[in-house]
Chains A and B, each alone.
Chain A
Amino acid sequence: MRRETQNILLVLLGGALLKLALTGTYLRYVKESLQPWLVLTGGVMVVLALVSIVRDIRLGQAQPSGVEHAGHEHGTSRSPWMLLLPVFAVFLISPPALGADTVNRSDRNAAQEAKASSGFAPLPSDEVIPLTISEFVTRTAWDDSGSLDDRTVKLTGFVVRKDADVFIARLTISCCAADASPVKAKMAGQDFSALPTDQWVEATGRVVPGSATKESAFVPTFTVSQVVPIAAPEDTYEG
């Protein structure tokens, strides 16, 4: 592959990273904390390519065949063509954030027993407590004091269907979307057939005490009194 082509591919790839980082689309793929690194990485790629282009032009003017820096030994390398894949994926396809399909690929409910050891902070005394689904699931599964019984909570997540059951779910990521783990609660108490799969909702209701057991794979049942469709949040992941 010619140097010029390599440099153009680098500019495209760096541009793709910059586009993701600056438009906020990166939140579909990685954690928020990676944003400055993505900007830096995209910038470094573009700069390295531009430096090389400028040098080539200068050397090219000095000596028409100016190619001794061209790295001939890699003239046969075809691997840089692979860089087109992420470039096309970012600019043309722009894959969506993970959703119901990923939740149904695993039976895990990422409520970690481990987290219980750090103890549970007392809940606020508000009438309706907004909770992340991770915290909701962890508390229902591992908090023996039953701190959620008889409390009204509000959960935000998307609709997932499996067999006849309807769940409110979210994905937690610790590094990037490749390590996403689902957290979910089974919704009960209403007819949810009007809600399409992957629709984002805010659901208010109460947990059925003792419903998150080993038999139910630690998926609690959530009696919903009110469910409101909402627009997807900017960062769809928890954790």
Chain B
Amino acid sequence: MTITGEIRGSRRRPTPPRWKITSLEVLCVLLVLALVLQDWLVAALDAPVLRTASTVFVALCVQALPFLVLGVLISGAIAAFIPATVLRRALPKKTALAVPVAGVAGVALPGCECASVPVSRRLMQQGVAPAAALTFLLAAPAVNPIVLVSTAVAFPKEPMMVPARFVGSLLTAVVMGWLWTRFGKAEWIAERALRRLPDHDGTSRWAVFAETARHDLVDASGFLVLGGVFAAAFNVLVPQAWLETLGGQVVLAVVVLSLLAVVLALCSEADAFVAASMSALPLPARLVFLVVGPAVDVKLIALQAGAFGKSFAARFAPATFLVAVASALVAAEVFL
């Protein structure tokens, strides 16, 4: 051990362990191991199923990361440049009114669901009511213009699909917001998600911006990758061939497509094209697929568990699933 090291070590604690293994050493060992075992790794992944799964996994990560980065940049900007008082003034004081306002505000964040998780967590930290922030979380990926346009392009023969999707998704978000206002408990959300940022006196705003964005990115991207692993596994494990046999059975089709939306974790800008290609299935079931997907899927559940804690995700995701299916069926009844 070097002299400076000893001085530093003795300053921190009286008896420093001589070889402390930190994550840095572990990382180095892992990198070296991976390089050494590269040939073996490549050979082990040579089965067609594994090759397909690994391609889908990389595709999901590559496709989602730009949106996640957009989300953490917005989150950093809110933390650094928008004082909490401004946000609170922008929303109605009564939570019951703030919820629909937050839902409609989702129109302004054009992106996949990955972008909205860090943003809504930041909104909560800045003092926005959790119910309103959660409504924004659910609404933003589903009601923004890009998603609606891609839905219109995918369903040229069914123009009512667009309003049906808009209303179904907005209804899901607002109902979940109200349910949270009525039944939600703050202690379900992990304490770290609600903790106020320390007032940044002294540090420059740009430093706050960079540090918040970096921190959120590290935090969320690990969970995004985890969600990608699950989605890729389901992508190759779920036999899509028997989908076509569901044809006329509406109830079964709704059940299957809603579950499929959860496990496939498609991006909300692409799911309309997938739904359009399932032409053998009834239209209401395909609407359920489009409304459930952006609100709850394996990628989102992983991100939410990371941002708000496991006990939150375990309650929020199943509730959202049921509300989304119901909202989609209501919208289908009205529009289709």
Interface on chain B toward A: helix, strand, loop, or mixed SS? helix
Question: Is there contact, CB below 8 Å, between B277 and A112?
Answer: yes
Q: Is A57 an interface residue (CB 8 A)?
A: no
**CB proximity to A under 8 Å, residues B234-268:** 235-236, 239-241, 243-244, 264-267
Contacts of B12 in A (CB 8 A): 65
Question: Is there contact, CB below 8 Å, between A96 and B51?
Answer: yes
Question: Is there contact, CB below 8 Å, between B62 and A20?
Answer: yes
Q: Is A4 an interface residue (CB 8 A)?
A: yes
Interface centre among A17, A69, A107, A118 (most CB of B within 10 A): A107
Question: Is there contact, CB below 8 Å, between B24 and A177?
Answer: no
Contacts of B158 in A (CB 8 A): 114
Question: Is there contact, CB below 8 Å, between A178 and B219?
Answer: no
Could you say which of A77-85, A145-153, A184-192 contacts chain B? Answer: A77-85
Beyond A110-B277, A175-B269, whether A95 also contacts B218 by CB under 8 A is no
In the bound complex, CA of A185 to CA of B157 (Å): 25
Of the residues B41, B63, B66, B150, contact of A92 by C-beta under 8 Å:
B41
Question: Is there contact, CB below 8 Å, between A48 and B210?
Answer: yes
Beyond A96-B51, A177-B55, whether A48 also contacts B213 by CB under 8 A is yes
Question: Is there contact, CB below 8 Å, between A178 and B61?
Answer: no
**CB proximity to B under 8 Å, residues A69-119:** 69, 71, 73-74, 77, 79-86, 88-90, 92-93, 95-98, 100-102, 105-108, 110, 112-115, 117-118
Give the contact-size bracket for chain A.
Answer: 35 or more
Q: Is A213 an interface residue (CB 8 A)?
A: no
Closest residue on chain B to residue A109 by CB atoms: B277
Closest residue on chain B to residue A106 by CB atoms: B240
In the bound complex, CA of A64 to CA of B156 (Å): 64
Beyond A29-B62, A108-B277, A114-B276, whether A13 also contacts B221 by CB under 8 A is yes
A-B interface, 5 closest residue pairs, ranked by CB to CB distance from nearest: A175-B270, A79-B222, A177-B59, A176-B63, A29-B59
Residue pairs across A and B with Cβ atoms less than 8 A apart, 23 shown, are A5-B27, A6-B218, A10-B218, A17-B65, A20-B62, A29-B59, A34-B62, A49-B214, A52-B211, A77-B222, A80-B219, A86-B228, A93-B42, A93-B45, A101-B52, A105-B52, A105-B241, A106-B241, A113-B157, A174-B154, A175-B63, A177-B56, A178-B265
